[in-house]
A and B are shown apart, each in its own frame.
Chain A
Amino acid sequence: MPRRVGIALPDTAFERALVILSRYREASIAVVALVLAIYFQVGSNGAFLSSQELSVVLRDTGRFGLIAVAEVMLMITGEIDLSVGSTFSLAPYVMVLMSIGWGVPLALSAVAGILLGVLIGLVNGIITVRFRVPSLITTVGTFFLLQGVVVSIYNSQPIVAPVQEPFNEIFGENLYSPTDSLWSWHGLTAFTPFLWTLLVVLAMALVLNRTTFGLHTIATGSNIVGAREIGVRTDRIKVYNFMIAGAFAAAAGVINTTQFASADPLAGGPFLTLQAIAAAVIGGTSLLGGSGTAIGSLLGAFVVATLNNGLVMMGAQATVSDIYLGTAIVLAMILNVQVDRMRARRRV
């Protein structure tokens, strides 16, 4: 074919595949999730989808997903929050201490814990936008600071959390019982935390795509100077997204503690932070800013949770699953960045 002036169409198989992936980002990660589920179902002789295994996977999906969706919002603005793992430990610890020490009802002290998360986000945001410290560094700092605080309160000891109904039922109930069919409502939702995460992710998808705040969040990450010139308050947008990240990390911690009736200072930590970021990345959000998907973060969380639990279920060492997770993150990131680059070259 003779060469023409204009934008070249994708010509290699790899580029054509990228076009399809970018058009159906959520769908393509959903396919990956499905393939993984089938693989583990076959590999475990039917244990993956018919045992309580899935309820564990969904519980983890809920935990990663709630933090991942907040990371997605931040990553769209071009920032990141690495302190979520400490907030996840600190907020419920404070909740339980308030409840035991001062007799504050669990529901009320949970609100206090989440407000603490919001405050942590506010501090992260202000340090990042006012003092122009890259958020990668700001939040590494606050990560260690908060981790230090939570382990020093009781010398790293976990404390037993009080059980108060209906709070525990609403936020930490395992709905799935061995007599339930897997395809029943309870079988598919398993733990209430998953339902909360599902609700929040859908809400954030709406916020991102259908509100002024979402529009300005995308504008901030896509072209920060242009966004400022046209009147978007980019600093505020970033700070608000840091506050969302703090709130969601705290909420995830509160829910986790409610489930296990225990507040562990080491429940979160760096590993949880990185798993949540992995979920966001595998879900199709690059760190370059300007684009990302909320629904993808939940699918990514499911993939991470499945890799974590599925391999162990099949008898592999827990450490082996990290090899797969690591590979998945690198591959997902290569795809995300390539798709972004193709878009920049106007070929998608």
Chain B
Amino acid sequence: MSQKDIPVLKPDTPVILEMNRISKTFGAVTALVDVSIKLHQGEVLALVGDNGAGKSTLIKILSGFHHPDSGTIVYQGKEVHFRSPRDARAQGIETVYQDLALINDLSIYHNMFIGREYHKRVLGLKLLDNRKMRDLAQTYLNSLGIQIPSVNSTVDLLSGGQRQSVAVARSIYSSPTVLVLDEPLAALGVREGAHVLGLIQNLRRQRSVSIILIVHNYNQVFEVCDRINFLHSGEIALDASTSDTSEEQLIRIVKSGLGRQAIAAAAAEVEASTGSTSTNRL
């Protein structure tokens, strides 16, 4: 995949979204401690970290699914409180969850439009406009090059890759302002993964949507991301730009990390050896 045609983000690009000092506990389990992240207009931010580091919790707070114990979210310059996923979606924040949130008993086109259905009036009754949704879904999925048997079939008939593609297509259909993808490549084979990655790269090229991407494969991080936040034990341990950090360095930092100090030391070492401007928050 070519990086050459990707426009570079200017240093003065405005911040579209800020999560400030977010903390969250579930009973006895502390998931997040004072986590802050910043997302710039048109930027692709990778959120990396081990299993259980709090990545999914953080994005579920952003999507309105969970509510933070403390901390604030500033979105498009205003402080917001999302009471539900419906709230966040209505304000242009779309999320593709790890479980994809597809409804097995419904058709592909109903899944595409659930929560924002099209209606028509029949004898004064507000009924679903199934034909319109079917046609729009078919056209849209075709335009993205997503191959599915028929938009009429229920999603439980789809392969893992097709399901993932439908979930991603649903999230970008409404041209969101912020798109959150929780491990969009997890269940995919090489070819299918490349396709979804291509979709993300296309969005990045246009710089019209800001993306938070949770990934495990650092190869992919460097292909499509502008910046990396490394979340460790509920805290942001590293915030670095992909142009300043190499994949090898990142892997060294992540591998070192079973303790704060180890991460800090590794990060400092990387910083010293490159003289880069990557900021270490610890």
Contact = CB atoms under 8 A, between A and B. Distances in A.
Contacts of B63: 229
Contacts of A343: 156
Contacts of A290: 103-105
A222 B104 contact: yes
A230 B97 CA distance: 9
B95 interface: yes
B65 interface: yes
B101 interface: yes
A223 B156 contact: no
A346 interface: yes
B105 A291 contact: yes
A323 interface: no
B115 A232 contact: yes
A110 interface: no
B95 A229 contact: yes
A228 B103 CA distance: 11
A232 B86 CA distance: 7
A337 to B, nearest CB: 15
Contacts of A229: 63, 65, 85, 95, 97, 99, 101
A219 B106 CA distance: 7
A221 B104 CA distance: 10
Interface string B98-133: 011111111000100011010100000111101000
Contacts, number: 79
A231 B84 CA distance: 7
B119 A215 contact: no
A343 B97 CA distance: 24
B232 interface: no
Contact of B89 (A210, A212, A219, A231): A231
Given A212-B117, A215-B110, A229-B99, A344 B156 contact: yes
A216 B105 CA distance: 11
B114 A230 contact: yes
B106 A215 contact: yes
A341 interface: no
Nearest to A224: B103
Contacts of B104: 222-223, 290
Given A222-B103, A231-B85, A211 B114 contact: no
Size category of the A interface is 20 to 34
A226 interface: yes
Contact of A230 (B85, B126, B128, B156): B85
Interface in A203-236: 206, 210-212, 215-216, 218-219, 221-223, 225-233
A226 B85 contact: no
In the complex, which of the residues B65, B95, B103, B157 has the most CB atoms of chain A within 10 Å of its own CB atom? B103
Contacts of A232: 114-115
In the complex, which of the residues A211, A226, A231 has the most CB atoms of chain B within 10 Å of its own CB atom? A231
A212 B128 contact: yes
Contacts of B85: 228-231
Contact of B119 (A212, A221, A344): A212
A212 B86 CA distance: 15
Given A230-B85, A291-B105, A210 B156 contact: no
Contacts of A227: 101, 103, 114
Given A218-B105, A225-B99, A233 B128 contact: no
A211 B128 contact: yes
Contact of A226 (B101, B119, B125, B128): B101
Interface string B169-208: 0000000000000000000000000000000000000000
Contacts of A210: 127-128, 130
Nearest to B171: A230
A344 B157 CA distance: 9
Given A215-B128, A229-B63, A233-B86, A223 B102 contact: yes
A219 B103 contact: yes
Nearest to B100: A226
Nearest to B104: A222
Contacts of B89: 230-231
Contact of B103 (A206, A226, A231): A226
Contacts of B101: 223, 225-227, 229-230
B114 A219 contact: yes
Contacts of A223: 101-105
A226 B125 CA distance: 28
B144 to A, nearest CB: 19
B55 to A, nearest CB: 16
Contacts of A211: 126-128
Contact of B99 (A215, A226, A233, A346): A226
Contact of B84 (A216, A226, A233, A344): A233
14 contacts: A210-B130, A211-B127, A215-B110, A218-B105, A218-B106, A219-B103, A223-B103, A226-B100, A228-B65, A229-B97, A231-B85, A232-B115, A233-B86, A343-B156
Given A206-B125, A343-B156, 10 more contacts: A210-B128, A211-B128, A223-B104, A225-B99, A226-B99, A229-B85, A230-B85, A231-B85, A232-B115, A290-B104
Interface of B: 63, 65, 84-86, 89, 95, 97, 99-106, 110, 114-115, 117, 119, 125-128, 130, 156-157
Nearest 5 pairs of A and B residues by beta carbon: A231-B86, A226-B101, A222-B105, A229-B101, A290-B105
